[in-house]
Amino acid sequence: MTYLTKPKLHHPGLPKNALGLTRRDYEGAVSTLCAGCGHDSISAAIIQAFFELDIPPHRVAKLSGIGCSSKTPTYFLGQSHGFNTVHGRMPSVLTGANLANRGLIYLGVSGDGDSASIGLGQFAHVMRRNVDMTYIVENNGVYGLTKGQFSATADKGSRSKRGAANDDEPIDLVMLALTLGASYVARGFSGDKDQLVPLIKAAVQHKGAALIDVVSPCVAFNNHPGSTKSYDYVREHNESVNRLDFMPERAPIVTTQAPGDTRDIVLHDGGILRLKKLDTGYDPHDKVAAMTYLESHRARGVVVTGLLYVAENAGDMHDAQQTVDTPLNALPDADLVPGAKALDAINASLR
């Protein structure tokens, strides 16, 4: 059996969102991942975020590659569009889908092997193009599905379950996304749902490429004392740059904190991302400062989490390419096939 279905009956008392849907309507099949896998906590956070955002599930397209992490879209948003692509190739399929139909909400789910090893080139270009999407990397530092080989995000010196040390420098996808031009860059921890849910909600509402690198321990192969992606290591070395609340557009905006303690960021749909500052010097609009902050903390073995960088008005691939507003499947034949005269004109212009 490759997946289990859940009973369809809902308890009548379950809380409903503005669409009259319950949290159960945002779930998928029962997970077959190892008990305690961080990926399952991320699925739960995704379910919570989409439920709270009142998003109709059929408006979402969820895409993934190959890996335990890439299996997870089966376990959430069971009524959404789904495409499980080839290992490391999710970004190009997502880009194509987004170009064809900009009317959907795109959610890419990937692993550290899927994105930082085999799929690094694809990752780079989808960030560089600022494709409008939420891209979640479920980062455990290993190839979980193929039994625990180091991935390209494993920290130098960290040890495998069998004791071998990783000799190579890690790729930090957060740092890379900043360099490549992503307009929303965050890091979360699967064990901190209070931080992760608002990060996902704001990423979904952000226009442009939104990366959330989520440290997600693999309990089967990378949750031992020598690992820097274990539950214990991240709990002991996690430093959160900010705490967030996401407030939908319709919510009244009430300032309850003293000036200087919070900062409101208005997203393109009017939603408000309210940052509660934990580190007083941290400004998520300053990319260079974010990079310096990340690097100085990494050198001390500190895992920095929270919203690290956001550019609210960066635009996206459609703006850059000046595409039509209407999804291609909604364009009339006359626009899609302009006819021989238009073709002749194009050909003439190229002579």
Ligand X SMILES: Cc1ncc(C[n+]2csc(CCOP(=O)(O)OP(=O)(O)O)c2C)c(N)n1
Confirm if 258 and 226 have CB atoms less than 8 A apart. Answer: no
| Span of 16-24, 57-65, 202-210, 214-222 interacting with ligand SF4 by CB under 6 A | 214-222
Applying CB under 6 A, which of residues 66, 173, 185, 186 lies at the interface with ligand X? Answer: 66
Give the C-alpha distances (Å, rounded to integers) separating 222 from 18, 72, 137, 210, 219: 40, 19, 16, 27, 6
Applying CB under 6 A, which of residues 47, 49, 53, 68 lies at the interface with ligand X? Answer: 68
298 φ/ψ angles, rounded to the nearest 5 degrees: -60, -40
Binding mask 301-330 for ligand X (x = CB under 6 A): ------------------------------
Residue nearer to ligand X on the CB measure, 80 or 140: 140
Q: How far is the CB of 111 from ligand SF4 (least distance, A)?
A: 8
- Grouping H, G, I as helix, E, B as strand and the rest as coil, residue 228 is coil
Q: Does 220 sit near ligand SF4 (CB under 6 A)?
A: yes
Q: What b/e string do you get for 207-235 counting C-beta neighbours within 10 Å, with b at 16 or more?
A: bbbbbbbbbbbbbbbbbbebbbbbbebbe
Q: Does 34 sit near ligand SF4 (CB under 6 A)?
A: yes
Residue nearer to ligand SF4 on the CB measure, 91 or 217: 217
Please report, as residue ranges, which positions from 2 to 61 form the binding site for ligand X (by CB under 6 A): none
Applying CB under 5 A, which of residues 52, 112, 155, 213 lies at the interface with Mg ion? Answer: 112
DSSP string, 9-38: ---TTS-B-TTS-BGGGGB-SBP-SPTT-H
105-111 sheet: strands from edge to edge: 81-84, 60-64, 105-111, 133-139, 209-215, 184-189, 303-310, 238-240
Give the C-alpha distances (Å, rounded to integers) separating 265 from 269, 284, 308, 312: 11, 10, 13, 8
Q: Does 39 sit near ligand SF4 (CB under 6 A)?
A: yes
Confirm if 277 and 257 have CB atoms less than 8 A apart. Answer: no
Residue nearer to Mg ion on the CB measure, 113 or 271: 113
Q: Does 174 sit near ligand SF4 (CB under 6 A)?
A: no
| Span of 29-37, 116-124, 155-163, 196-204 interacting with ligand SF4 by CB under 6 A | 29-37
Q: Does 144 sit near ligand SF4 (CB under 6 A)?
A: yes
Give the C-alpha distances (Å, rounded to integers) separating 117 from 82, 88, 153, 171, 332: 23, 8, 8, 9, 42
Q: Does 146 sit near ligand X (CB under 6 A)?
A: yes
Q: How far is the CB of 76 from ligand SF4 (least distance, A)?
A: 15
Size of the site for Mg ion (CB under 5 A): 5
Binding residues for ligand SF4 (CB under 6 A): 33-34, 37, 39, 68, 140, 144-145, 218-221
Which residues make up the interface to ligand X (CB under 6 A)? 66-69, 87, 111-114, 118, 138, 140, 142-146, 151
